[in-house]
């Protein structure tokens, strides 16, 4: 959660910081703030609410500083308020900090600081950081024995080390939890100090200027060259360069990587909202995802050449939220094609139940951002227990990609809206291709013709998604009927049950309507008690082998008064069903990619009918980087 930005260079810092925060609001928008260096003073501007409030409430045009840090907050410790907004200062106003993460032992550190004469004013965990840095800086500059001890600990390979950096390292050594920290020192006029553990951070390199951010899109308009910061690393960012250090404060060299994302991909490009833009980008995103993995109707995944798929007796697919639904939507593809038991598990529970995994287990982890804290923790556990790990990720160089044994990138491009859309369809596409690859390697030539046929089928999916989008007005009309509903239920069988689950999540995320999903056959085992006159039910039926069962279950709900909408690619004509939404025919294995699109559109248009902020739904953030 939360987004951080930093700048040092030759231009005014404030416009860079504000634009960066606006790009990062999907990570949190409970409050926002920035701090800049001004003649050996630190000026702080912050308030509750959106980033726009900063420019509305403060005269930032007059701030000439060329060095600054900034933060947009998703509240964890302390309610959204001006006082709890970042940046936070130490008592002497010597140091300012912005922080993404959670300091799990902040109460212990807070008590230590109070015992040493410090006062803390906010409810946040972050406020302990600048005060702890100040505590150690004071000891380093006033206690000769302490300084010598620290220099011996952290500076054995060269004669001196920056005192602020050393104080920051001492402070982080006392912290338990996660952090991406940017720190200003009032007496250091041209630099920002950074430290990272379990929270994302990148440094963008420019000509005579450098940038810091949680995510690439925040600074992509300024540079395409990035350093990816690893856990335990620290740095000093100056206009003319960046010096990186490991946890022992030994200087390290980091590779500068070029990111080929188009900065315009982060803009709305004429759409009212990012979510609608990203829904309509799905044909291109899916096509590019397919194009990197299928050549001449054959799977081409050279990044997995080192994997012996025949040795595995179990697959775990582990993820959170929408990414987990992508795993559920493809579970049967792995089992039906590759003939291997597959378990889909939510990352937040995975490591707390001692999963039975070993070196014959393949663990597949899914994350759009590559920074999902629960998924990273589950990935590390799987590696500790000897499992082979493959991650399906959208963001190059993200934390998960650097931990996993193997990585498959989706090619969705930047996804800014909090409610995920194109990431889901690209994840389902990538997982389907992975399932075909595993099947091919495990079963051999006897399945080659089937894989070729499926590859050909998959190549047509982007055009079929466009067909669905061409009929978007149908969902806009349906939204005008549904937006006043208090409850909506989604249902389906087989693959369709998981499309229903994702459809319900989309609706509740952005419209705040209570939405639940149940496999069609389960309604009669309890949930049917919730059905009364005119309650909307969205049914999905895309598999001719079981559609009759789904329709039968829907008719049961109709007799109880439900208002039924059926999403189908089959010729199902039933005059009792109030609405039928047709999607193109395709293999049941890939129908999830098509069936979810009208449900994404429906959720979007319902939220718009209610006048809600579609891109930034309440209480949510895009990348969940805390557990």
Q: Which residues are identified as catalytic?
A: 2, 622
Torsion of CA 147, 152, 154, 157, to 10 degrees: 130
* Helix, strand, coil % in the chain, rounded to nearest 5: 40, 20, 35
By DSSP bridging, strand 514-519 and strand 487-492 are parallel
Instruction: Judge contact between 538 and 485, C-beta under 8 A.
Output: no
CA 267 to chain centre: 18
Instruction: Judge contact between 312 and 388, C-beta under 8 A.
Output: yes
Q: Which of 558, 600, 605, 603 is nearest to 583 (CA)?
A: 600
Q: Is 380 exposed, middle or buried, given 0-12, 13-18 or 19+ CB atoms closer than 10 A?
A: middle
Q: Which of 281, 359, 289, 352 is nearest to 326 (CA)?
A: 289
| DSSP per-residue string spanning 399-410 | HHHHHSSEEEE-
Q: Which of 326, 316, 330, 323 is nearest to 369 (CA)?
A: 323
| DSSP per-residue string spanning 16-83 | HHHHHHHHHGGG--SEEEEEEEETTEEEEEEEES-THHHHHHS-GGG---SEEEEEEE--SSS-SSTT
What are 301's two structure tokens? 């995944």
State the number of CA atoms in the 13 A half-sphere of 510 facing the CB: 32
Residues facing 539 on adjacent strands:
491, 566
Core vs surface per residue 498-516: b (16+ CB within 10 A) or e:
bbbbbbbbbbbbbbebebb
CA 326 to chain centre: 14
CA distance 600 to 581: 13
Instruction: Judge contact between 500 and 490, C-beta under 8 A.
Output: yes
Residues facing 95 on adjacent strands:
185
Going edge to edge, which strands form the sheet with 41-48? Answer: 41-48, 31-38, 67-73, 3-8, 210-213, 202-205, 225-228, 257-258
Q: Which of 69, 77, 70 is nearest to 32 (CA)?
A: 70
Using CA atoms, how far residue 347 sits from 61, 62, 263, 344, 407, in Å, is 45, 47, 31, 9, 18
Q: Residue count of the chain, please give it.
A: 627
CA distance 204 to 358: 39
CA distance 188 to 301: 49
CA distance 202 to 244: 12
State the number of CA atoms in the 13 A half-sphere of 131 facing the CB: 22
Q: Which of 179, 211, 186, 239 is nearest to 36 (CA)?
A: 186
């Amino acid at each position: 959660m939360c987004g951080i930005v930093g700048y040092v260079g030759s231009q005014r810092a404030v416009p860079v910081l504000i634009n960066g925060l606006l790009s990062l609001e999907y990570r949190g928008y409970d409050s926002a703030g920035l701090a800049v260096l001004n003649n050996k003073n630190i000026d702080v501007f912050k308030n509750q609410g959106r980033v726009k409030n900063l420019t509305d409430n403060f005269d930032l045009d007059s701030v000439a500083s060329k060095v600054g840090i900034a933060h947009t907050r998703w509240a964890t410790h302390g309610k959204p308020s001006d006082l709890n907004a970042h940046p936070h200062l130490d008592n002497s106003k010597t140091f300012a900090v912005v922080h993404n993460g959670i300091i799990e032992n902040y109460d212990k550190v807070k008590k230590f600081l109070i015992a040493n004469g410090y006062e803390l004013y906010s409810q946040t965990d972050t406020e302990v950081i600048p005060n702890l840095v100040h505590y150690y800086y004071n000891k380093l500059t006033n206690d000769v024995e302490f300084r010598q001890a620290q220099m011996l600990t952290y500076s054995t390979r060269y004669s001196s080390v920056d005192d602020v950096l050393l104080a920051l390292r001492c402070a982080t050594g006392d912290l338990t939890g996660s952090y991406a920290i940017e720190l200003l020192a009032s007496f250091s006029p041209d630099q920002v100090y950074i430290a990272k553990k379990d929270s994302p951070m990148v440094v963008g390199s420019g000509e005579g200027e450098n940038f810091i951010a949680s995510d690439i899109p925040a600074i992509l308009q300024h540079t395409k060259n990035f350093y990816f910061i690893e856990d335990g690393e620290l740095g000093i960012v100056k206009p003319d360069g960046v010096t990186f250090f490991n946890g022992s404060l030994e200087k390290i060299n980091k590779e500068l990587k070029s990111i080929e994302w188009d900065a315009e991909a982060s803009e709305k490009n004429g759409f009212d909202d990012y979510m609608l833009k990203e829904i309509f980008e799905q044909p291109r995103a899916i096509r590019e995802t397919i194009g990197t993995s299928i050549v001449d109707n054959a799977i081409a995944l050279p990044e997995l050449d080192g994997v012996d798929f025949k040795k595995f007796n179990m697959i775990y697919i582990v993820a959170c939220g929408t990414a987990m639904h992508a795993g559920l939507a493809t579970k049967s593809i792995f089992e039906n094609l590759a003939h291997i038991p597959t378990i889909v598990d939510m990352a937040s529970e995975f490591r707390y139940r001692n999963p039975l995994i070993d070196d014959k287990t393949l663990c597949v982890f899914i994350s759009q951002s590559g920074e999902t804290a629960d998924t990273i923790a589950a990935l590390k556990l799987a590696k500790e227990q000897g499992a082979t790990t493959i991650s399906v990720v959208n963001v190059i160089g993200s934390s998960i990609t650097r931990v996993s044994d193997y990585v498959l990138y989706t090619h969705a491009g930047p996804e800014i809206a909090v409610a995920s859309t194109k990431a889901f369809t690209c994840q389902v596409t990538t997982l389907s291709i992975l399932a075909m690859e595993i099947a091919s390697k495990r079963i051999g030539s006897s399945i080659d013709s089937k894989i070729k046929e499926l590859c050909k089928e998959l190549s047509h999916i982007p055009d079929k998604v466009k067909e669905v989008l061409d009929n978007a007005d149908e969902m806009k009309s349906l939204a005008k009927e549904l937006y006043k509903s208090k409850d909506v239920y989604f249902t389906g069988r087989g693959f369709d049950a998981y499309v229903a689950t994702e459809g319900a999540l989309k609706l509740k995320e952005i419209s705040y309507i209570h939405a639940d999903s149940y496999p069609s056959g389960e309604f009669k085992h309890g949930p049917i008690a919730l059905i009364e006159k005119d309650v909307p039910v969205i049914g999905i039926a895309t598999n001719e082998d079981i559609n009759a069962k789904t329709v039968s279950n829907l008719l049961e709900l109709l007799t109880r008064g439900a208002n039924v909408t059926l999403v189908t690619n089959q010729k199902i004509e039933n005059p009792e069903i109030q609405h039928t939404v047709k999607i193109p025919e395709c293999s049941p294995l890939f129908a999830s990619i098509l069936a979810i699109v009208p449900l994404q559109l429906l959720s979007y248009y319902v939220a718009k009918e209610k006048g809600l902020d579609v891109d930034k739904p309440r209480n949510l953030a895009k990348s969940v980087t805390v557990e």
